[in-house]
Structure 1
Amino acid sequence: MIPILLLALIAGCQTQSAPPTPTTAAPNTGGTVPAQTPIDVTLALNWFPEAEHGGFYAALVHGYFAEEGLNVTIRGGGPKVPVIADVASGTVAFGVDNADKLLLGRVQQADVVAVMAPIQDSPRCIMVHKSEGIASLKDLAGRKPFTLAMNTGQPFAQFLMKHVNLADVQITSYPGNVAQFLLEPKYGQQAYNFSEPFVAEQQGGDPVCLMLSELGFNTYTSLLITRGELIEQQPELVAKMTRASIRGWKKYLAEPDETNKHIHEQNTQMGLDVLTFGVGVLKPLCLPKDFAEERLGSMTAERWQSLASQMTEIGSLPPDSVRPEAAFTLKFVTAE
């Protein structure tokens, strides 16, 4: 049985209130699909449909899953949707979540493995006001008065508190929206740089993003994950899902409009303007400088080892409790 602790691993990080959790099945694209009966597959998202899931939706909208003989249903997520637990238990075949959550799951004996990483550089940031002249996360040290809203139970927040002296900063819980940010100049909050800053700016704010990756905490984001057991027993299914997802992400980064319309239909609180902004911000995170498009989805052992070491340093993981090299596989990315 997967411990109840896993249910707390999914923490809200976007600005919207909770819309109904949607599910999306593959549309009839009119293209050629295999003659055999399609395999029904569920992909569980870690949050409500938005730009960070765009490539998976593109694979659905443009028929790439169908071309692989897959009838994929994308299940929307939310603040307390236990993606790691659902994947580990076999409730769903595939899920989308972040690398730190996956390691936390594995230390609880969850059989979850990352097979593809569409977003290389983490979008996680602390959003502050430009008028305050805060140029880096290190500038938060000794700042008083100042309020920082974030979920202190998350590894990124623990890493920040470990590496920046926030003794003079008042830390409060993350509110899930930008309302307080707009009211208080001496206020910062956790955010994803493709979402909350756009909302804040549209409402007259002056947001600046201080990236956690620049402090050294750079987790793979929106990983495609599955069970180790499924990799062993049905490798061709995993290969099909990974191959179609990579195609989807390439398509989304190049031509997002049709997919964004579909995402908006699934989550009407995600307007087309914020989705357009989002994919523009995501593109350099998915394809950083000198990172060839052909490598999209790949991962490195060094990055996983670094994350495990950082999470051990801040006390999120007991020493030697996980083997980072077992948390991911490149088998299906290189096969693409």
Structure 2
Amino acid sequence: MNVSRGWLTVALCLAIGCQAEKPTSLSDRGDDGSSGQSQLIDVSLALNWFPEAEHGGYYAALVHGYYEEEGLRVTIRPGGPKVPVISDVAEGKVDFGVDNADKLLLLRAQQAEVVAVMSPLQNSPRCIMVHKSSGLTKLEDLAQKKSFTLAMNSGQPFAQYLKKVVNLDGVQVVNYPGNVAQFLEQTDYGQQAYSFSEPFLAEREKSDPLCLMLSDIGFNAYTSLLIARQEAVSQKPDLVARMTRASIKGWKKYLAEPDQTNKYIHEQNPEMGMEILAYGVNALRPLCLPTGFDETQLGMMTAERWQTLTDQMGEIGLIKPGTIKSGETFSLAFLKTEPATKPAE
């Protein structure tokens, strides 16, 4: 997981506050979304983790006033390891959320009526971090390894898919520790990671990390999605469109000029230093704008990608076939451009 996921969760909650004052809910407003108290519409956005580069575009939209330009007063609520973002969106506790496609599918299969309206990342940052000196160059090479330790949360969809498509009989799978301490001490050791976080820690300690991307074996879940309640998508489309436009504009700004936003993120989460935030945005750029993918299509999703992920979740037994209907997990209605072709690998 992300770098801060293994650090002092309780202390961070006390430092930055895991709960924010709840603004007027969408369900409490009129058809135009107005609270009647201001010309700006109060909107809440819940993050899936503590503030970091993964959320940079949303913070950029706040810092640079893009939400206000759309008539929105957005409150961003930091997340944490046990904050149920998707459930909170589905229940109307928050207006919008940020989370990943595999988790959305799991909750949608449990009748959580939420919809993804924008994806800033085209390729997932999820990877297995190994040492360059291990000789591994792709995930399939794990099948040839003996006496190799792999630390990951085995219950996660990406881990179950990895175990399905790659022979890990010679690999000792252990629980993910939430830090890179063991990685620094042991050469024949790999661990789950996000390409914009854990590798930074390893490099800072003069190690030799190499990211083997899960997308290379076909598991490429959309990441850091903007998620809305189904009711808002159908009954308040103008509000959802405003939030989506401003968020996309924020992501474009963050990828081009991240410094001011990174300073703000650091203020919200002091554990995220300016150096790791700069590393993070550099790692995010090729994931948001892969080769051959035009900036004008930033945020786009495709039905093919959603269907592939849905099928994969079914193959590993996390979703029963037929539980999720095609097209009900996402909407392209709030994106100006036509669906993008598959990004170049």
Taking structure 2 as the reference length, what is the TM-score of the superposition?
0.89
Aligned to 1:231: 233
**Structure 2 residue matching 1:325: 3-state secondary structure:** coil
- In structure 1, stretches of 5+ residues that fail to align are 1-11, 26-34
Displacement of 1:335: 7.3
Offset from partner CA, 1:218-277 (integer Å, 9 cap, x none): 111000001110111211110110010000000000000000000011111111111101
**Structure 2 residue matching 1:214: 3-state secondary structure:** helix
* Contact 2:43-2:72 within 8 A present in 1 as well: yes
**Structure 2 residue matching 1:334: 3-state secondary structure:** coil
CA distance in 1: counterparts of 2:167 and 2:185, whole angstroms: 25
CA distance in 2: counterparts of 1:263 and 1:285, whole angstroms: 20
Aligned to 2:79: 77
Aligned residues: 316
CA distance in 2: counterparts of 1:81 and 1:326, whole angstroms: 24
The change in CA–CA distance for 1:24 and 1:282 in structure 2 (over 3 A counts) is farther
* Contact 1:142-1:169 within 8 A present in 2 as well: no
Offset from partner CA, 1:85-116 (integer Å, 9 cap, x none): 00000000000000101110110000010000
- In structure 2, stretches of 5+ residues that fail to align are 22-36, 339-345
CA distance in 2: counterparts of 1:333 and 1:174, whole angstroms: 37
Alignment of 1:205-216 (within 5 A): 205-216=207-218
CA distance in 1: counterparts of 2:57 and 2:2, whole angstroms: 19
* Contact 2:196-2:279 within 8 A present in 1 as well: yes
Aligned to 2:320: 318
Aligned to 2:43: 41
Question: Which of 63, 67, 70 lines up with 2:69 in the alignment?
Answer: 67
Aligned to 1:184: 186
Alignment of 1:49-198 (within 5 A): 49-198=51-200
Aligned to 2:265: 263
* Contact 2:2-2:197 within 8 A present in 1 as well: no
Amino acid at match of 1:287: L
CA distance in 1: counterparts of 2:38 and 2:242, whole angstroms: 14
* Contact 1:217-1:307 within 8 A present in 2 as well: yes
Amino acid at match of 2:266: H
CA distance in 2: counterparts of 1:324 and 1:152, whole angstroms: 27
Aligned to 1:331: 333
Moved more, 12-21 or 132-141: 12-21
**Structure 2 residue matching 1:291: 3-state secondary structure:** coil
Amino acid at match of 1:148: L
CA distance in 2: counterparts of 1:321 and 1:24, whole angstroms: 34
The change in CA–CA distance for 1:85 and 1:24 in structure 2 (over 3 A counts) is closer
Offset from partner CA, 1:176-200 (integer Å, 9 cap, x none): 1111111111110000001000111
Offset from partner CA, 1:154-186 (integer Å, 9 cap, x none): 110000000011111111111111111111111
CA distance in 2: counterparts of 1:203 and 1:48, whole angstroms: 23
Aligned to 1:278: 280
* Contact 2:2-2:198 within 8 A present in 1 as well: no
The change in CA–CA distance for 1:335 and 1:68 in structure 2 (over 3 A counts) is farther
* Contact 1:45-1:95 within 8 A present in 2 as well: yes
Aligned to 2:252: 250
Question: Which of 14, 17, 21 lines up with 2:3 in the alignment?
Answer: 14
Amino acid at match of 2:212: L
Displacement of 1:142: 3.6
CA distance in 2: counterparts of 1:189 and 1:155, whole angstroms: 15
Amino acid at match of 2:277: L
* Contact 1:13-1:190 within 8 A present in 2 as well: no
**Structure 2 residue matching 1:147: 3-state secondary structure:** strand
**Structure 2 residue matching 1:78: 3-state secondary structure:** coil
Query: Identity across aligned pairs (percent)?
Result: 65
Displacement of 1:13: 4.2
